[in-house]
Structures are given as structure tokens and as C-alpha cells.
Amino acid sequence: MSPLAIDQILDGRRSQPDQLIEVLHDVQEKDGYIPEEAMQAVSQGLGVPIMEVYRVASFYKAFRLKPAGKNVLTICMGTACHVRGARLLLDQATGQLGIELGDVTPDGLFSIERVNCLGTCALGPIVTENETYHHHVTPGKLRKLIDTIGGQQPEETQHAQTQ
């Protein structure tokens, strides 16, 4: 992140330690994550010790300390989604992509995240792919979604012999 961009974000908020979380949100909105240099600059700008900045950034789940993949699959793990089988979706995503929750695939194409509730419980289980909502997701649907985004043709499973 350029010093200019940080300056813009800090503008009007310098030396206001209570603005730390708001400022970190803005940094992340711009960059997708919060790089170390940004934290150093925020520490200077707000007058908050770097230890405290790092601590806050590591405490709140909203903040990413490393870049996310191009496609962020967020699996809602709210109670309603859970009782409708969200766990299987998490297993599906991690198994299919071969990465752990919170990690990025080596090609940078995917990362898997979880959220505790998206507040669309009525339509669970929910998976969002970047900003797009997918509702009533099943392991099969998720697998096809990942295949499609990954550029592979999903296997033709729909119209097998149906006699």
C-alpha cells in the first residue's frame, strides 16, 4: 500500500487512537488485507504502539494479515446452516482444494474462509463466492461451483441415464 493511500485513510483521524479499528477496516477495504508496513504507518499516524496495532489486527476475525485468493469461498457456519449440513461443505471445499481453512491455494485462485453467520439463515446452507450468495448449497453443488470457477468443466452428472 502506498504511503499516499495510507495518508488519505488517516486524514482527519491522526492521533486518535480510538479510530484504530475503523482505520484498519479502511486499509483492508483498499488492499484486501493489512500489510505490515500499513500497520507501522497506522501505528505512527494514530499514536498507538505497534504491539497494540498488531494485537488488534490479530484479535479480530475481520482482518486478514495475508492476501486472500482471487476467489474467496466463505462458508457460513451459523447454527442454522450447521444443522443443514454446512460441515460437509467445509470438508468438501478443503478436501477438493487441498488447503486448510484460512489458507490460499498455491495458484492463488482460491481461499477458504468461514463466517459465523451471514444473517440469511432461512436459506442455509449458504456459501458466498466473493460477493455472490449461493443458497441451499449441497456438497455436490459446491463441488461443481469450485470446478466451474477453477476453469474445469464440471463432470456431466445431471443427465446420466434416468430411465
Site residues for other proteins per CB under 8 A = 17-22, 24-25, 36, 46, 48-56, 58-63, 77-80, 82-85, 87-88, 91-92, 95-96, 115-124, 126, 133, 135, 138-141, 143, 155-158, 160-163
Query: What's the min distance (Å) between Cβ of 42 and other proteins?
Result: 11
For 49-79, b/e burial (b = at least 16 CB within 10 A) is eeeebbebbeeeeebbeeebbebbbbbbbbe
**Residue placing its CB nearer to other proteins in the complex, 4 or 160:** 160
Query: What's the min distance (Å) between Cβ of 5 and other proteins?
Result: 19
Is the Cβ–Cβ distance between 32 and 64 less than 8 Å?
yes
**Residue placing its CB nearer to other proteins in the complex, 24 or 104:** 24
CA angle at residue 50 from 45 to 53, to 5 degrees?
Answer: 80
* Residue 129 bridge partners (DSSP): 73, 132
Q: Which of 148, 162, 160, 149 is nearest to 109 (CA)?
A: 149
Query: What's the min distance (Å) between Cβ of 160 and other proteins?
Result: 5
**Residue placing its CB nearer to other proteins in the complex, 4 or 155:** 155
Angle between helices 36-46 and 3-10 (to 10 degrees): 40
Query: What's the min distance (Å) between Cβ of 123 and other proteins?
Result: 5
**Residue placing its CB nearer to other proteins in the complex, 70 or 134:** 134
How far is Cα 153 from Cα 91, in angstroms, rounded to an integer? 21
Query: What's the min distance (Å) between Cβ of 2 and other proteins?
Result: 20
**Residue placing its CB nearer to other proteins in the complex, 6 or 126:** 126
Return the C-alpha cell found at 109.
485462485
